[in-house]
């Protein structure tokens, strides 16, 4: 029997009853100010909050009412979010263009759990790899993993790009407080030789371990950097046997790893159901585990898992990732907001916005639905941001007084990890004040009352009504980092479900790679002619070759 929701799900997104209702609702509400909303409901700040996995979300400073939340939740229901969550967690092949399951959530199921995929229990496989990673990282941390000349390893260089780099760098920076400080960590990603050169220039090859992280083990940038690292090592150690002591691989491609010369004994595997940008909690996190130790790494996985469970089980109107995903839809699709700013008030989270850029935009920056049709609505906003308070002294001007609506996510912690509590109070006071200023502004009357001359009043007035979420956690622990990353992963999933797109493929990065392959020989061989591109591309290649020759 077909249910009414199944019938609704067959309608195009913009024809669904909840979408239509939200369009009407937007007309009624978009001129209402948050000043009014707060004045009408003195408990608003205590009501529009949600908690899960140790994360507290205050979403009261949004341009919403109870009705808005109800309608957004209805939209989620009409778009089959419940069914899609179940499909993802149970291992259905929801990455339809690559015919793959999407099971990063299986990477953090506790050891006692079980999940069958194609008849195999993936949980035991996951934990077997984690155990091997644990043994290896313990050895490195204890100085027992020795280099070819018997010196202990002191430097760990992760070579990877995209999903095999951004997660490891972000997690290393975020959890530096917990890291073993006598080890040096570097991350090389760019094919620009400067990246390798600067990362390696002060390192002793005898004490350096390279982790070549690549799901496919064929990525141009990573393999170029890995080969350079190999020569750099051999130039110093003069023996092929040194490679086994100084190189390990994280990959799903054993054949290519062997071809490169790394013994598969020293390879840590994962599975095709882990997407690159969802892989920091797989073996791709080996550098993280070496930095913070296996217990902390497992605590991070537990944090991921508790947010997974919250997402899977909490009612949508109390569900942090669902609420955040739906609020993104509200501003992106009804208010026409083009971007979202992510503003962590914690120096350790300085790479979090960059990490989220890939997670959000590579997942949902798509104009084709799962059925191959062009969308007639906006998909992913642009995510960007910098840690507070630095941003306050640069781009916040535009968030406060610019012509664009920029919803913000503030992220802060009640307890600092440094020894300067006074700094922390200033930091947190600034974060809380920014959200307040954005929501309520500063009226012309208030400016006048401060004694401003009339001509200056418009410049000093803040109209307010600028939305933000405030995410407040107790302390930046490995557990909380896992929960925060999972929060955004599932918010992205919620959005992708509403937009009916495949959030797990990334065809948009392919064309550039293909065209670069054509241009590489042209730049290597100055005699190449005639060039077969458009006139601009031909001229750029010619210009480059001429200057190079000079």
Q: How far is the CB of 188 from ligand G6Q (least distance, A)?
A: 13
Site for ligand G6Q contains 276 (CB under 6 A): yes
Q: Which of 393, 459, 548, 549 is catalytic?
A: 393
Three-state SS for 220-270 is HHHHHHHHHHHHHHHHHHCCCCHHHHHEEEEECCHHHHHHHCCCHHHEEEC
CA atoms of 517 and 511, how far apart (whole Å): 10
Q: Which is nearer to ligand G6Q, 163 or 478 (CB)?
A: 163
Phi and psi at 119, nearest 5°, equal 80, -5
Could you tell me if residue 238 is left (phi over 0), alpha (psi between -120 and 50 degrees) or otherwise beta? left
Structural contact between residues 21 and 74, judged by C-beta atoms closer than 8 angstroms? yes
10 Å Cβ neighbour count for 550?
5
Q: Which of 362, 386, 489, 522 is catalytic?
A: 362
Q: Which is nearer to ligand G6Q, 164 or 380 (CB)?
A: 164
Pair type for strands 267-269 and 382-384? unpaired
Q: Of the ranges 109-117, 151-159, 274-282, 488-496, which one interacts with ligand G6Q (CB under 6 A)?
A: 274-282
Site for ligand G6Q contains 163 (CB under 6 A): yes
Q: Is 46 a catalytic residue?
A: no
Site for ligand G6Q contains 277 (CB under 6 A): yes
Site for ligand G6Q contains 164 (CB under 6 A): yes
Which tokens go with 250?
């994280």
Q: Is 173 a catalytic residue?
A: no
Site for ligand G6Q contains 162 (CB under 6 A): yes
Q: Of the ranges 22-30, 69-77, 155-163, 190-198, which one interacts with ligand G6Q (CB under 6 A)?
A: 155-163
What angle in degrees, to the nearest 10, is found between the helix axes of 320-329 and 66-78?
A: 100
Q: How far is the CB of 380 from ligand G6Q (least distance, A)?
A: 14
Site for ligand G6Q contains 219 (CB under 6 A): yes
Q: How far is the CB of 2 from ligand G6Q (least distance, A)?
A: 36
CA dihedral 458→460→461→465, nearest 10 degrees, is: 130
Q: Which residues, 304 to 333, sit near ligand G6Q by CB under 6 A? A: none
Which of residues 24, 124, 216, 313 is near ligand G6Q by CB under 6 A? Answer: 216
Q: Is 510 a catalytic residue?
A: no
CA atoms of 474 and 477, how far apart (whole Å): 9
Which of residues 71, 85, 133, 161 is near ligand G6Q by CB under 6 A? Answer: 161
Structural contact between residues 382 and 361, judged by C-beta atoms closer than 8 angstroms? yes
Q: Which is nearer to ligand G6Q, 62 or 358 (CB)?
A: 358
Rounded to the nearest 5 percent, the helix, strand and coil shares of the chain are 55, 10, 35
Q: How many residues bind ligand G6Q (CB under 6 A)?
A: 14
Catalytic annotation, residues: 362, 393, 513
The contact set with ligand G6Q (CB under 6 A) reads 161-164, 214-216, 219, 222, 275-277, 362, 506
């Amino acid at each position: 029997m077909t249910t009414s929701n199944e019938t609704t799900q067959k309608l195009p997104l913009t024809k669904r009853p909840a979408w239509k209702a939200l369009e009407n609702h937007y007309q009624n509400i978009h001129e209402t100010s948050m000043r009014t909303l707060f004045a009408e409901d003195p408990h608003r700040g205590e009501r529009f909050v949600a908690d899960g996995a140790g994360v507290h979300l205050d979403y009261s400073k949004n341009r919403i009412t109870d009705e808005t939340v109800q309608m957004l939740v209805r939209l989620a229901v009409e778009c089959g979010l419940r069914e899609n969550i179940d499909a993802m967690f149970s291992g259905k092949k929801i990455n339809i263009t690559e015919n793959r399951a999407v099971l990063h959530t299986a990477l953090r199921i506790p050891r006692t759990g079980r999940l069958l995929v194609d008849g195999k229990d993936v949980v035991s496989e996951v934990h077997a790899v984690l155990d091997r990673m644990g043994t290896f990282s313990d050895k490195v941390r204890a100085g027992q993993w020795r280099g070819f000349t018997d010196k202990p390893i002191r430097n760990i260089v992760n070579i990877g790009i995209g999903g095999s780099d951004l997660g490891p760098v972000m997690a290393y920076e975020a959890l530096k407080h917990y890291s073993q400080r006598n080890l040096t960590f570097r991350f090389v990603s760019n094919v620009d030789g400067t990246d390798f050169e600067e990362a390696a220039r002060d390192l002793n090859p005898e004490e350096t371990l390279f982790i070549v992280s690549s799901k496919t083990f064929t990525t141009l940038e990573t393999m170029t950097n890995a080969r350079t690292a190999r020569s750099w090592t051999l130039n110093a150690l003069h023996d092929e046997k040194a490679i086994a002591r100084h190189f390990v691989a994280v990959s799903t491609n054993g054949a290519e790893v062997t071809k490169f010369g790394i013994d598969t004994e020293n390879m840590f595997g994962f599975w095709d159901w882990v997407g690159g940008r969802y892989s920091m909690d797989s073996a791709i996190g080996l550098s993280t585990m070496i930095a913070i130790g296996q217990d902390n790494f497992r605590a991070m996985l537990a944090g991921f898992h508790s947010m997974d469970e919250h997402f899977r089980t909490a009612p949508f109107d109390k569900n942090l990732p669902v609420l955040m995903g739906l609020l993104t839809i509200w501003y992106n699709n009804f208010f026409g907001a083009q971007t979202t700013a992510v503003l962590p008030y914690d120096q350790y989270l300085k790479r979090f916005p960059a990490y989220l850029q890939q997670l959000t935009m590579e997942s949902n920056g798509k104009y084709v639905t799962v059925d191959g049709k062009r969308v007639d609505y906006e998909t992913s906003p642009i995510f960007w941001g910098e840690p507070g308070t630095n941003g306050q002294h640069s781009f916040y001007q535009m968030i406060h007084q610019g012509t664009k609506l920029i919803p913000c996510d503030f992220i802060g912690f009640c307890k600092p990890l440094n020894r300067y509590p006074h700094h922390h109070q200033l930091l947190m006071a600034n974060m809380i004040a920014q959200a307040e200023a954005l929501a309520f502004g500063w009226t012309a009357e208030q400016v006048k009352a401060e004694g401003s001359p009339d001509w200056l009043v418009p410049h000093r007035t803040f109209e307010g009504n600028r939305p933000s979420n405030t995410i407040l956690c107790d302390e930046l622990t490995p557990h909380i980092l896992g929960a925060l990353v999972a929060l955004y992963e599932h918010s992205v999933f919620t959005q992708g479900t509403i937009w009916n797109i495949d959030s797990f493929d990334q065809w948009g990065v392919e064309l550039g790679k293909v065209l670069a392959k054509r241009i590489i020989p042209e730049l290597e061989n100055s005699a190449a002619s005639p060039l077969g591109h458009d006139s601009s591309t031909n001229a750029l290649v010619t210009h480059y070759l001429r200057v190079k020759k000079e």
